[in-house]
Structure 1
């Protein structure tokens, strides 16, 4: 980044790409403030040089929105996500993958705010479009179904959540294998739903399976194994009411 800035200038496309990459690294480390500090100049420069509706500009706006969302700055994130979504819908069409990603991002922001009805409305739209365009067993479609299930779960709509989670779990198990991280994530979510429904025997059996597989694949000290084992122990001791320490499946 520094070399390109010196040799090419601060507003050269390659320089901006380097800055954005560094910001993404900060983002993945949870260093939201540092990521934001870099995302803003990239966004502003691209808007000036390329235009407000250029794909690179829109990606920069979406990245900044993601930083805001992870900082809990919901209103600012929502404003940017709506801007990106509406522009992509106009420029690319309602069923373009980038448009759908924007809608899904906005849904996650609503989800984080506990605005379940608005999140559900968008998630249904994304799920149905992806199912039609990509197929019922495509990874993006399955992620959309899992997101909708998580919203149902948070609304206390256990039966609807279960129906979708069973579908996702079985499809991922068939397509990806029983020990794939996405399959295990689906099993976690389904186990939590069983526990929420008071179906303790089924919940414990499924969570025990997750612990065994994760221990074998990742080792006893891996964070995912430890988290899964802790939930299982809580349930076995009768100390957890709904197993809320499991993250329900949400994606960006």
Structure 2
């Protein structure tokens, strides 16, 4: 895992950073662990929810930039299964923030051509939040400029368990034989069955782990870690991460012709 902290990329205006991007080398699927909202708020003497509220501005900028650059899938880790262990007051505030986001941003998503979809054990959400999620999914299901894939009540291990159960039911019903279970069958049983694997994962706030996120899908994903807290991770920071991504040689286990074996 590379601990990328914008090394060797000098401060530059956004226009200069944009000029360094090569369209053919941009990720098709960008995944983000949005970490550091609580710390951002605590550093300013604010309640933790204020950090999450500020973090929504970073989400908006990331969606806009993804549309501008032609990135097709953006997956964001919004609420993990482990997050259910947080204080009840914070969970209630986060669910309220989710409802507020969907109620205020849904028309903008439609206008921009963004399809909203979720992965995770979403039925664990409170009824009101779940209703907003389902309504937004339905109203944007026909859109295709960008898929905004939101991980809610998500855990990578839980996803693998759910996939294993689906395959077991298929075998039990006679729709599948055990010998037919391969990587492709597993892929089709995952929450992300309709998506390509991420090309790049960004994690903010200085932590250098994947925290039970997309365990299967990240097998060959490039990892980018930055100390920037999520509410401060805006357009420029994303451009720097994309430039760093383009510098890497992705071999997927192969030896390229220019590299001696």
TM-score, structure 2 as length reference: 0.30
| Greater helix fraction, Structure 1 or Structure 2 | 1
Flag the structure with larger Rg: 1
* Greater relative CO, 1 or 2 (CA 8 Å, sep 6+): 2
| Greater strand fraction, Structure 1 or Structure 2 | 2
